[in-house]
A and B are shown apart, each in its own frame.
Chain A
């Protein structure tokens, strides 16, 4: 069967599965809609969290990024996993004990202030929209390459599927579809990685293959070959970074702390029955994430060696364009690979210096990898289904945060506290539907700044939510004045730095101009420190925390008596 028929079959089958689950897991109350009734098994919640967390960027782009960045790619690997340690140890169990539905719920109640709640709601909505636009785009790209429909139609099909299970099932539907999506995406990620690992290094586990000798050149380690190729072609050695150490440090910290402060991740820990389930569930989530994240660096290294060998030829003379494998031409059509024969010898050549004739988009590394390694067609179709699963699962989780923020935090807690559960559920569904349409619009007409604002989302979460929540749990004396001043100063500082270098003066976005050599991607860490300092300073000179709030802090510090996630 040809690739396209296979892709239709496999992607179609996965869609049928998601819709089936959605019908089975309809939500009957706001509690089911917001937190899946609080009855999700911790392992299932771990899987759902992993699928929720691993977006189109993790699945499609990350290995490609590492492939092109070498050692520096470690910032993503450590940053996007290390945050789970913070979540498990410092946030999840306490927020589960607190036992309401959303992050703004906690901020508003702990800081006894509508203003704090409103700041949190807007941060949550902004962060989530930033993210979701990128997911819809990811769905569009996969559809357009593998199913040869327009990106617009790809986005519309993706919207329709998410609409179906998010609006119908809320958190309950999303959770169980995410479990299925995790299985699809991890299978799709591992199959080509294992195949390629066996072909190149003779080892089944890609994680071990990374440190093994090459089958084609016994006695030569994969990493040494890669370092050799990189320096020969004018790149930095693969195992050395080109970023400054301080920048690597700050970016990693911002991604870790940002991860722990993202509302769509935190809210997943409200869905399990007990405090100890929240703890173990974070562990399972990281296990499921680590399976993909430890495979990614292996894929990155395999793909880079394969790609250079294919384009430059094993003799390093360049491959004749006429003899180029079909994947080069397939991807040329999408504009993600470009070849310009500068020296008119009819051969392709890839290098960092003036010999270079290729433009290769890093996003194709995972999607084209099975083709580069000559794997069977069904593997290529599987990767397409995996990419769609990764994008849809994350999009759904984010859309739920948006709809919850509107129906619960804004409507129920602010404007119309007297609406019934049925009305609130209807509002949540309408908000989810509206959010999907807005997200779809941005997917079809992506604003040019989507790539830039991803750094924004992490920086914002790191410099606003994280310190407010940590102080709310670990300090009984942190008052509303301190928390609000801290959140506002953290956000303002971080946003100003990012906006200056990304939008006002992009030409000046070079290490010489950065404060202490910290790039806009890493500035959230400094913003977080600003937040902590301002919060503590302000709280020292303003009114003390009311007695009942101090008692609440006391009560979230031990598990007994958590009960179910409760209504107000």
Chain B
């Protein structure tokens, strides 16, 4: 057991799941929400010369995906440190 007690192991896993689910909600909203389900109403708004719904489907969602992974890595590394399960 790498954790000091069972309680800590549970807390670590809960924090991990909470972070994962939050980020997955953003993932879903950015692609399936803004890029697909809401694409038509969003197309009324324009970003430069591109309609916003179209932009999310072909550009924006991808940038958000990249950002999500880096946020995940940063937060998980913090979490590992806090619970003393970081690999050396």
A-to-B contact residues, CB < 8 Å: 66, 71, 73-74, 77-78, 81-82, 84-85, 88-90, 93, 207-208, 210-213, 221-224, 239-240, 245, 248-249, 252-253, 256, 274-276, 279-280, 282-283, 286-287, 290, 293-294, 297, 554, 557-562
B66→A290 contact, CB < 8 A:
yes
Q: Which of B48, B58, B70, B86 contacts A283 (CB 8 A)?
A: B70
A286→B36 contact, CB < 8 A:
no
A287→B66 contact, CB < 8 A:
yes
Q: A248-B36, A276-B80 are in contact. Are A558 and B3 (CB under 8 A)?
A: yes
**What are 18 A-B pairs at a CB distance below 8 A?**
A74-B36, A74-B57, A77-B57, A78-B61, A89-B20, A89-B24, A208-B48, A211-B50, A212-B48, A222-B49, A239-B51, A252-B31, A283-B69, A283-B70, A283-B72, A286-B69, A287-B66, A559-B86
A286→B65 contact, CB < 8 A:
yes
A90→B87 contact, CB < 8 A:
no
A82→B31 contact, CB < 8 A:
yes
A249→B57 contact, CB < 8 A:
no
Most chain B C-beta atoms within 10 Å of own C-beta, residue among A82, A221, A223, A561 = A82
Q: A276-B87, A294-B63 are in contact. Are A85 and B58 (CB under 8 A)?
A: no
Q: Which of B35, B36, B43, B76 contacts A279 (CB 8 A)?
A: B76
Distance of A510 from chain B, by nearest CB (Å): 22
A557→B58 contact, CB < 8 A:
no
Q: A211-B49, A297-B59, A561-B2 are in contact. Are A85 and B36 (CB under 8 A)?
A: no
A239→B54 contact, CB < 8 A:
yes
Q: Which of A66, A283, A290, A557 contacts B62 (CB 8 A)?
A: A290
Smallest Cβ-Cβ distance to A296: which chain B residue: B58
Most chain B C-beta atoms within 10 Å of own C-beta, residue among A280, A287, A293 = A280
Distance of B64 from chain A, by nearest CB (Å): 9
- Main SS of chain A's interface residues? helix
Q: Which of A73, A81, A557, A559 contacts B65 (CB 8 A)?
A: A81
* Complex-state Cα separation, A286 to B76, whole angstroms: 18
Smallest Cβ-Cβ distance to A561: which chain B residue: B2
B57→A71 contact, CB < 8 A:
yes
* Complex-state Cα separation, A78 to B24, whole angstroms: 14
Distance of A140 from chain B, by nearest CB (Å): 30
A559→B61 contact, CB < 8 A:
no
Q: Which of A249, A256, A293 contacts B37 (CB 8 A)?
A: A249
Q: Is B45 an interface residue (CB 8 A)?
A: no
List B contacts of A207 (CB < 8 A).
59
List B contacts of A223 (CB < 8 A).
49-51, 54
List A contacts of B73 (CB < 8 A).
88, 276, 279-280, 283
* Complex-state Cα separation, A211 to B36, whole angstroms: 20
A559→B85 contact, CB < 8 A:
yes
* Complex-state Cα separation, A89 to B70, whole angstroms: 10
A81→B62 contact, CB < 8 A:
yes
List B contacts of A249 (CB < 8 A).
32, 36-37
List B contacts of A77 (CB < 8 A).
57-58, 61-62
A210→B31 contact, CB < 8 A:
no
Contact with A along B1-17 (1 / 0, CB 8 A): 01100000100110010
B62→A294 contact, CB < 8 A:
yes
